[in-house]
A = this chain, B = another copy of it.
Amino acid sequence: MQKIYNIGVEATLEVIGGKWKPVILCHLNHHGKIRTNEFRRLIPGISQKMLTSQLRELEQAGLINRKVFNQVPPKVEYSLTPYGQGMEPILNMLCTWGEKHVEFLQDKGEEVLLKQRDEDIAIQQTS
């Protein structure tokens, strides 16, 4: 049974469509390696279930890597695969467009805030 796309972007959306995937990918693009709990701090709104399911799907699509360290307590690290790195230009533009858009909304008088606290949170435990 054949899958048919009418335009390239439809195939792209099949991979990164969904509420959280672009967010996850942008953080990975930004930080390199990220552990599960770091994701939860970087993306406060996401539930445990969504986080793992989205990570699994991105892994299946070949965009991200899941590296399990055999230790207790467990440690799992996610990162972009080389194939996923092919998305970097897109991820960067999605982020910067959003930043500009927030400024645009603020200029219009809307009450919007961009936290971008990445730097603060980033690498706290280098375990």
Q: Give A contacts to B, CB under 8 Å.
A: 1-13, 15, 17, 19, 22-23, 26-27, 30, 42-45, 83, 86-87, 89-91, 93-102, 104-105, 110-118
Bound CA span A98–B19, Å: 18
Most buried by B among A7, A89, A99: A7
Q: A13-B23, A90-B90 are in contact. Are A6 and B116 (CB under 8 A)?
A: yes
What residues of chain B lie closer than 8 Å to A45, measured between beta carbons? 6
Copies of this subunit = 2
Show 12 A/B contacts (Cβ-Cβ < 8 Å), sorted by A. Answer: A2-B112, A2-B113, A5-B115, A6-B117, A7-B27, A7-B95, A8-B97, A8-B116, A10-B23, A12-B94, A13-B19, A86-B97
What 7 A-B pairs have minimum CB-CB distances, sorted nearest first?
A8-B98, A11-B98, A12-B98, A8-B95, A8-B99, A2-B111, A9-B26
